[in-house]
Structure 1
Amino acid sequence: MNSSLINLLSICHIEYLIIDENFKILEKSLGLNHFADIPDEVKQGEDIRIVFPELEGLEDVFNAIRQGEQDYFELKGIMRSQDIVSPLYIDIRITNNIQEDHFSNSLIILVEDATERMVLEQSLFQGANEANLLLRNLKASKQYIDQIVTSIADALLVTTLSGNIKKVNIAAQVLLEYDEVELVGQSITKVIREVNNSPLITGDIESINILHNPYINPLVKEVETICYTKSGKTIPIAFSSSIVKTEIEHFQGYVYILRDMTERKQAELAKQEFLAMISHEVRTPISSVIGMASLLLDSELTDEQKNFIEIIYTSGDSLLKIINDFLDFSKIQSGNLELEEEPFALRNCINEALYLLAPEAKEKGLKLTFLDTPKLPTTIVGDVTRLRQVLINLLSNAIKFTETGSIEVSVVIYKNSDINHSYIANTDEIQFSVKDTGIGIPCDRVERLFKAFSQVNSSITRQYGGTGLGLAICKQLCELMGGRIWVESELGAGSTFYFTIAASVISEELEVRSQELFLSSPPKSAPMSFSPSPDSHELRILLTEDNLVNQKIALKQLKSLGYSADVAGNGKEALQLLEKIPYDLILMDCQMPVLDGLETTKEIHRWQESSFASGRRPVVIAMTANAMKEDKQMCLDAGMDDYLSKPVMKENLAATLEHWASVIFKVKEIDAVEQTVYTTNVGSVDLLIDWERLHQLSENNPEFELELLQLFVEDIQPRLEIIKISIATDNFEQLAREIHQIKGASANVGATIMYLATEKLEQLAYNQKCRGTTNIISELEEFVKHIQEFLISTSSS
């Protein structure tokens, strides 16, 4: 081979050898040994098939090339080394040997290092295989996720960060009555408007704070609302949502799970209806039993008869407590128990609980003590009824399980800044303790105390009675009030029950004292006798009740309180009597034949004021065995002014009648001096405020009275603005709701004239009439202005 060709092959890193027609090596390049199967055999005269065994069997190919039947032949990617670290691959090309411008019988074999290409090809092939495998896995994963999403019984929607729907499952399409194509691209608010109130809809994914693991998506607590279907139906749902965070913006967004609550709501409604039925059907005969027993106790009886009646009365009262426990527990479990937020005197609440149970403690010879402290606040904001309920339950248990010794109540207040754990903002932690010297509780049984239907052991029920719900209710009430409950006890040495609430403190002014509650004398706040107003005989009362036993009990109670009343057997009879007699107050049963109490009250509101001889409608007070929260709200929504739950205790009836009698008589006094309800030139705040009522409410605390009036003004002003908007938009439902709030607040603080003005406005709202509302609102604003001026002058003096 000429030198030029050899140089060219060398530059291209190609080795060569030349063979004759007998396959013998005639010539070879210097680097060829590196590519030979047997390097030592690469020498002239050796058979090429020994050096490159891959050429064995290619004799026909060689002859075809020599004869010009074939230009060349290639063998590619021949492996020479299987070393993973240093592999070796070669390409072999066979062609005629060109010499001096003509072909000879010799052949030239070109050998080229193909390692780099083969390694690259193998890498690409492996990568392609891995990519195919990954693609198959991704497809399988997608199918897997799609099948999971499809099989989810709840509706699922996926949206972008901006809230546009990207995907919905079949359950969502069925629930919302839309095809997927109709929802994709639409805003989530098309079907769930409440979603705007979700904390995840922020538009800023980085604002979501993940405390520990950034890959864990925050889940918003389930929210109950309604969704809107294609046909316009509204369906009650509970939805939860979670944010999806990835490195690729296209795959970021939100996931919403919608659960159809129709069946659950129907079940809850059925449960509430059942409880309401139980409440009414059971409480009605119990009311009769307790009422009749109470009346008999006021009559002349032998000692034996009195003992029998007391047993009947006590048994009926115990049965009523059991029913109340079940109703309370059911309301708490269903989330239907709402706490009130009203200012009340803390000491009065504690003393009332102690006084109520004082006779039981005295009967067992137990000493009942309240340890007061200078740090105890005078007035707090909260639900006095539920706090008293917890105290009474704990005190009742203490008395029940203590045979000798004492029961001690104490209270400690912790300022918000003094406690490490988080409570409701702007509140203090108030800790109560009830300590007894009773039988104690084994340490291995303490955890059972606060569980529903559970007592320390089965003998407790047989020996002491009870439902096992009392402490479970206390636990849930304490938690609802922002606190907790626990116990420290030693078997045979007594127990101390602790519980806390979170409450806002209005005033901490208190004279230092520590008093013992003498069992023979009640606290000042507890009425011992009922003294109706000297004008009570002038109060025209109509009792509307279909049950003859309840009629007799109510009439007897009214008579013992110094009142008299006429009787109507149903709502229709009551309306007929109202056309003839201008009653001041109606005691209204709710469930009656012909026309029930709710419809009767609505009918009274629909009547024109001129229908009443007195120039105004009577005060309507519900007296019903329905004790559920929604029953009370139904009564108020129907236009009733107050609510008494059966069995109506004599003291509750007396307090209610005394309050409304003072309101009614105040109106009559104003009428007597020709003070119209709608005068805008009231010059003295004394005509606006029933100071006697306010003094009684505040226990003659002038500072608290001023604070209460200030809160009253601050609450009413924004409500008046809402009322104006409601009138402008003909939103009579909202109008009636806001008026009712102002009306109740006015009655509570003794703002009698304002109460009467709101009563007129409320009647217009029920009749859905706007005419005349503007003047009344102006007058209300004038009333508020006079009270503000009074408060300013008082504070500056």
Structure 2
Amino acid sequence: MNLLIPKLLSLRYVEYLIIDNNLKILEMSPGAYRLADVPDEVKQDNDIRLSFPELFGVEDVIDTILQGKENNFELKGIIRTESVSSPLYIDICITKNVQDKNSNSLIVIIADVTERMILEKSLIQSANEANLLLRNLKAAKQYTDEIMKSMADALLVTTLSGKIKKINPSAQVLLEYEEAELIGQDISIIIRELEDLKLGKGEKENIYNPPIKELETVCITKSGKKIHVAFSCSIVQTEIENFQGYVYTLRDMSDRKQAELAKQEFLAMISHEIRTPITSVNGMASLLLNTELTAQQQDFAQTIYMSSNALHKIINDILDFSKIESGKLELEEQSFELRRCINEALYLVSPIAKEKKLILMFLDTPDIPTTVVGDITRLRQILINLLSNAIKFTETGSIEVSAIAREIMSNQHGKNSYEIHFVVKDTGIGIPSDRLERLFKAFSQVNSSITRQYGGTGLGLAICKQLTELMGGRIWVDSEPGVGSAFNFTITTPVISEGLGHGDWKINDLAADAKINPRMAEQYPLKILLVEDHVINQRIIRLMLQQMGYQPDVANNGLEALLALRRQLYDVVLMDLQMPVMDGITATQHICQEWTPDVRPMIIALTANAMSGDRDRYLASGMDDYLVKPIRIAELMQLLKRCQIQSQKSQKAEQASAQNIQESKEQVSTNLSPSDSCLPTANSFPIDQAILQKILQMADLNSSAHAVEFLLEIIDDYLKDAPILLQNIHLYFSQTNLKSLRRAAHTLSSISAILGATTLASLCAELETMVVTEALFGATEKIFQIEAEYQQVQIVLEQERQKYKD
């Protein structure tokens, strides 16, 4: 029997029919009709083709089987009738009836294979779906891999226990590892800080719990190099443990760190440069206040003095703007008189208001706290900014300031927290309502014509907004075009528990800290060494000390200071920081090494640089205190009081001095380069005559100095040193000696600005900026401009020199 027959007979539904050579039905199984296309035709002696139409056309095949040329024939059929809800699939097999050897009969075996066909279809469909899913998974993997490859940031995928599973190409470049070297390694070999974040220990691996947020850290490369990175982590959670873990993203911050460092250095330089001319203005104003003046002159001098102080504070605010934006600005917490703060702000803007004939008012009430705790400088800055804007945009009428205090909480320590609501109201041009939202955005004004008509950068109100928010308050404005504006802001501040009411503040208190005590040297006898490389700064600070009765010695740099100290010890060393040959910090370190604490002098840092962290750095070097230029007379006197000489120290100092006299005689003298510091302001004329006049006035204040000779000495020094500096600029530029080139440009800028050669000073400052940023394209042209401008300056100074000599 053919092997197909047992196979078909093993199926669940199998029927058979025996037919003769004419395809007539001879015999059939009882259920054969169920598999027929026409069940009623499944009868004995009927043609099988009536019930199974699939057999039409197979007559020749049947003859072949009867003749023994073929064993069987197979075909498939499908039955669709109205009585059947779904089609039936059948397999038909025709073979010779071997049981009846004398007749020419055939057996037709019919099997119901519907279930098998449905299963096969389902398998085929599943296979197709699986293939599609595999293709999608492959495409998704390729898609994910391409994303990882294209990422500029380093990406590392780890298990929950911190074992690295995958890294992208950027991570390989950043970390200097091949992927195979890191697979299976702990993430802590890259980020050491993560080692402390493992939770628990047991049979299983330790589990990490990294912070799911961005922070800055340091990662370690294969070569051991430390790289600053912005590090962030996200957790991957799925139902399958093998597909759970963390995704770490590392962004290389090296360039940004370098940029931030360059920015800090640039800001430090600018800070140093800007404050130096302010030192001159502040110093001359404070000395002027100590001369006999008329009431009007006294008022003018007070305004100059207070304005220079305000300018100094505003410069600090501008330099701190980046810190405000980054959230790194720290507010001071000191008690101060609130009314004094408000009146100081009004006093500083009053000259401008008087010029425009505007009424300036403070609506004082008994409800305002007398003493509060906070940052008086920042609060005054907000008030000055709002008052200045009000005056700027008001042509007629008045500007008034008011304040209302509301208690919001109290505590057992006698300090109550208040919300203080300030209003600065004007009768100015007003602001359209659709443009109010632009006011407090950085570098934004109501419209572009404001800048052309009134000036300004659009930065002031943005700073006010940030400062009020740092003080726990907010700022907003009510305005009507043509009527005026009312700028409102609030702060939250503790109030000293001394009740509310009017203080005894007086307007004359503003300039009180500029008064010099002419008996200071008698009351507090001190040997003072002033270490300052800038000639003008030397003379101004020396004049201040001389008016106190002191006769300070002067050293031009740190090395000269060491030599002076080896000849005799001093009680106080006023030490500048940025000097040629040897800077102040290096000199301080040498002093601390050479002299014991009981004999060495108190070292006071003098610097225009007040960047964040500098104070700690200066004090860590061994300095005892710190004064920021421009130097305030009151602060200088207060500091000198703390430095009063002690007899025991003086005795030991004399002994130490005697031991070092011979050593100091053997020191080799050093030729010193000229001084530095001072940010210039551009001027179309080669020399600003007003600055020369101020130098003369400054010298006149000291009875021991002849004003004209004082000025001529400065001019002579300048005309001697400037050509040498120009030669050095050419030489250092040709040698690409950027450090020396920066120093030469910086020094020429400084001494030029002191004499009023502001255009030349500005060109030198631009060259210095090019050197600092290493943007030297156009430097050659800049040097030629400097040389040409110096020739004009030289001509004018020679004329001035001759004029004063005649």
TM-score by length of 2: 0.68
Residues 569-580 of structure 1 mapped to structure 2, 5 A cutoff: 569-580=556-567
5 Å-filtered alignment, 1:294-693, equals 295=287, 323-333=315-325, 335=326, 337-340=328-331, 343-345=333-335, 347-348=336-337, 351-358=340-347, 360-361=349-350, 363=354, 365-371=359-365, 373=367, 380=373, 383-398=375-390, 403-404=397-398, 406-415=400-409, 430-439=419-428, 440-458=430-448, 460-461=450-451, 465-481=455-471, 483-491=473-481, 494-500=484-490, 505=494, 509-513=497-501, 515=502, 520=507, 522=509, 527=513, 529=515, 531=517, 536-561=523-548, 563-609=550-596, 615-648=598-631, 650=632, 653-658=633-638, 660-665=639-644, 668=646
Task: Say if 1:308 and 1:483 are closer, same or farther in 2 by CA, change over 3 A.
Answer: closer
Q: CA deviation at 1:616?
A: 3.5
**Bigger mean CA deviation after superposition, 179-188 or 232-241:** 179-188
Q: Which amino acid aligns with 1:14?
A: V
2:346–2:360 CA contact under 8 A, matched in 1: no
Superposition deviation, residue 344 in structure 1: 1.8
Equivalent residue for 1:742? Answer: none
Structure 1, 59-68 or 568-577: larger mean CA deviation:
59-68
Question: Does the 8 Å CA contact 2:405/2:418 hold for their aligned counterparts?
Answer: no
> Cα offset for 1:629?
2.1
* Aligned residue number for residue 174 of structure 1: 173
- 1:377-418 Cα offsets, whole Å, 9 max, x none, are 9564x555444433443454455556525211334343499x
**C-alpha distance in structure 2 between counterparts of 1:58 and 1:464, whole Å:** 106
Whether contact under 8 Å (2:338, 2:371) holds in the other structure is no
Other-structure match for 1:111: 110
Q: Contact (CA 8 Å) 2:349, 2:387: kept in 1 or not?
A: no
AA aligned opposite 2:498: L
Whether the 8 Å contact between 2:433 and 2:480 is mirrored in structure 1 is yes
Task: Tell me what 1:231 maps to.
Answer: 223
Shift of 1:258: 0.8
What is the deviation of 1:140? 0.8
| Equivalent residue letter for 1:634 | R
After superposition, the Cα gap between the structure-2 partners of 1:572 and 1:371, relative to the gap in structure 1 and judged at 3 Å, is: farther
In structure 2, C-alpha distance between the alignment counterparts of 1:33 and 1:469, rounded to whole Å: 98
1:155: Cα distance to partner? 0.4
Determine if contact 2:337/2:372 at 8 Å carries over to the other structure.
no
Closer/same/farther in 2, CA of residues 459 and 67 from structure 1, 3 Å limit: closer
Instruction: Write out per-residue CA displacement over residues 463-501 of structure 1, whole angstroms, 9 at most, x where no aligned residue.
Output: 654432222222233344554433333445554444455
- The structural deviation recorded for 1:591 is 1.1
- Partner SS state of residue 105, structure 1: coil
**C-alpha distance in 2 between matches for 1:248 and 1:127:** 24
1:271 counterpart = 2:251: no
Q: Is the 8 A contact 2:289 2:514 kept in 1?
A: no
Count of equivalent residues: 625
Distance in 2, matches of 1:459 and 1:228, equals 53
Counterpart of 2:17 in structure 1: which amino acid?
A: L
Instruction: State the secondary structure of the residue aligned to 2:441.
Output: coil
Superposed, 1:1-20 pairs within 5 Å as: 13-20=13-20
The whole-number CA distance in structure 2 between the counterparts of 1:292 and 1:526 is 15
- The 2-side partners of 1:84 and 1:616 are apart by 118
Give 1:707's aligned residue: none
Identity value in percent: 54
Q: Distance in 1 between matches of 2:342 and 2:600?
A: 37
- Separation (CA, whole Å) in 2 of partners of 1:385 and 1:316: 14
Contact 1:96 1:104 in 2 (8 A): no
Task: Give the superposition deviation at 1:25.
Answer: 2.2
Separation in structure 1 between the aligned mates of residue 432 and residue 285 of structure 2, nearest angstrom: 40
Q: 1:243 maps to what in 2? A: 235
Q: 2 CA distance for matches of 1:17 and 1:428?
A: 107
State how far apart, in whole Å, the 2-side matches of 1:154 and 1:167 are: 14
Q: Distance in 1 between matches of 2:514 and 2:300?
A: 24
Where does residue 22 of structure 1 map in the other structure? Answer: 22
The question of 1:54 aligning with 2:46 is answered: no
Tell me the TM-score normalised to structure 1 length: 0.68
- Contact kept, 8 Å, 1:77 with 1:114, in 2: the verdict is no
CA distance in 2, matches of 1:492, 1:541: 61
SS in structure 1 at match of 2:97: strand
Counterpart CA distance in 2 for 1:64 and 1:32 is 25
1:295 positional shift: 4.0
Return the letter of the residue paired with 1:120. L
Change (3 A) 1:297 1:460: farther
Mean Cα deviation higher: 123-132 or 159-168: 159-168
| Correspondence for 2:142 | 143
**RMSD after superposition:** 4.2
